[in-house]
Amino acid sequence: MCTDQMSTRTSTSRRIFIEQASALAAAPMLASLGMTETLAQSAQDYKALVCIFMFGGNDGNNLLIPRDPSDWNQYAGPRGRLAIPRDQTLSIKPSNVQGREFGLHPAMTGIQTLFTSGKAALVANLGTLAAPLTKAQYQNNQAQKPSNLFSHSDQQFLWNTGIADNSLRSGWGGRLGDRVAAMNQSGSLATCLSVGGNSTFLNGDTIRPFPVSPSGQFGLDFLDSSTSGNGETAALSQGMTQMLAQPQANVMDGVWLEILGGSIVNQRQFSSALNGAPLFQTAFPDTGLASALKMVARLISVRSTFGAKRQVFFAGIGGFDTHGEDQPQRQQELLGEVSNAMTAFYNATVELGVGSNVTAFTASDFGRNFPTNGRGSDHGWGSHHLVVGGGVKGNALYGTFPTLVVDGPDDAGEGRWIPTTSVDQYAATMASWFGVNSGDVNLVFPNLKRFASANLGFMF
């Protein structure tokens, strides 16, 4: 059965519990919350990357639409019932595309405003690639293709690892975290933070992500419940407290309890910091993604508590596997949620004084095929993505927009666009802005040298 594979489900298994406890305790214990004023003023050297993963494979053909009449007609024919009327698209005129006009999906009014004000950019026909690939090479098997194309789980994995021809288990966000953790006073603890559940993206070679729910829960919060009250939670808290205090004859049991105890200390440090976080004047919508990004903004607001100068975040939104007749309505809802949440998040970073220090960007399993299947659209490959922030060279379209012709020069078959820009290039451009030197960028993305450009130029 086809599924979004969104990895935000709660697990009660002992294995997951141990993994989460280990992640919470993986870094050295935090220093006192009373940081110096000098540390609090270090925001000018602060940078953060925020990955927003659209689980299920977003149909980018309806995110970015050609608006010139002849181009729109070429778009509308194969799209059939999925085609968005030209006059309903939100007009944008990228400054670097010689006057060509495009339209955004009508639900993305916030992104339209950010784009025209120079705070958002689009990257066209982006996807997983092991190396540059032409249609002839693809058809004749003359070059390596990403493994298991068009599979949700495999393509999510390759997007998150940033290496399309390797089974490396670390993610490119985590590998960036490995290289910047030393800049943070708290080491790895506050470097990689997930508000989207377990994610390969934030797993480094040495670093592990710190999980936080959008509501601010850390998984062990019941331990702060009153042990003198009645109820299951109080009893569990009391029992856990007693267990932690007991000496253990078994070495492994002792190690496990030490990890658990450390995770509790770290959790309480984060909880204490978030309790003192400022309230936002920015209004966030009441949606799942907006709640996650609001938590990211709150975590950014307390960065000086942890001496964090570099941070990588992960958030997710599911529902993009739109094969059926409900695709137009689903995309209206989902892309509206993405646009509104990313807009509120950008406004919150401006309110915090770090609008130019934080970059949010989208990722997804893959695009979807161009012609309708009669109802919705099926699994594709290349797609279009958003980059938002004050550090973005906005009001511009990067990469190469595909030729919207079934069996045309960009079609791998059935209207699945062969990417002309790789995940490696997209990610490496942001890594350079993040402050990772060129030598380390090439270590994080070992296939980058296969591509003509290591920097797409969309960041200042």
> Are 57 and 321 spatial neighbours (Cβ–Cβ below 8 Å)?
yes
Question: Among 27-41, 282-296, 300-314, which stretch is predicted with the lowest mean pLDDT?
Answer: 27-41
Q: Please indicate whether residue 331 or residue 20 has the higher confidence score (pLDDT).
A: 331
Q: Please indicate whether residue 223 or residue 122 has the higher confidence score (pLDDT).
A: 122
Residue 203 pLDDT exceeds 50: yes
Question: Among 14-23, 138-147, 196-205, 280-289, which stretch is predicted with the lowest mean pLDDT?
Answer: 14-23
pLDDT of 398 reads 98
pLDDT of 219 reads 61
The pLDDT tens digits for 347-385 are 999 999 999 999 999 999 999 999 999 999 999 999 999
Per-position DSSP letters for 384-448, written without gaps between them: EEEEESTTB--SEEEE-PPP--TTSTTBSSTT-BPPSEEHHHHHHHHHHHHT--HHHHHHHSTTG
253 in helix, strand or coil?
A: helix
Question: Among 14-28, 298-312, 367-381, 412-426, which stretch is predicted with the lowest mean pLDDT?
Answer: 14-28
50 membership: H or E segment, kind and range: strand 47-54
325 pLDDT band, cuts 50/70/90, is: very high
Beta strand pairing call for 192-194 and 396-399: unpaired
Smallest CA-to-CA distance from 50 within 314, 403, 372 is with 314
- Mean pLDDT, rounded, for 289-312: 97
pLDDT over 90 percentage in the chain: 75
Q: Please indicate whether residue 234 or residue 436 has the higher confidence score (pLDDT).
A: 436
- Mean pLDDT, rounded, for 132-158: 97
How do the domains of the chain map onto residue ranges? 46-216+269-450
pTM metric for this prediction: 0.89
> Would you tell me how many other CB atoms lie within 10 Å of the CB of residue 123?
24
pLDDT of 379 reads 98
425 pLDDT band, cuts 50/70/90, is: very high
pLDDT of 268 reads 81
pLDDT of 244 reads 67
pLDDT of 2 reads 62
> Would you tell me how many other CB atoms lie within 10 Å of the CB of residue 268?
16
Those residues whose C-beta lies under 8 Å from the C-beta of residue 297, and which sit 6 or more positions away, are 280, 282, 345, 348, 349, 352
Amino acid found at 419: P
The CA distance from 132 to 384, in Å, is: 17
Helices (H), 282-385: 288-301, 327-351
Residue 15 pLDDT exceeds 70: no
pLDDT over 70 percentage in the chain: 82
Joined together, the tokens standing for residue 289 give 């993604």
- Mean pLDDT, rounded, for 305-325: 97
Per-position DSSP letters for 4-43, written without gaps between them: ----------HHHHHHHHHHHHSSPPPPPS---HHHHTGG
Mean pLDDT of the chain: 88
- Mean pLDDT, rounded, for 409-413: 98
CATH (one of 2.60.40, 1.10.287, 3.40.720, 1.10.490) for 46-216+269-450: 3.40.720
pLDDT of 187 reads 74
269 pLDDT band, cuts 50/70/90, is: confident
To which residue do tokens 């960009």 refer?
A: 410
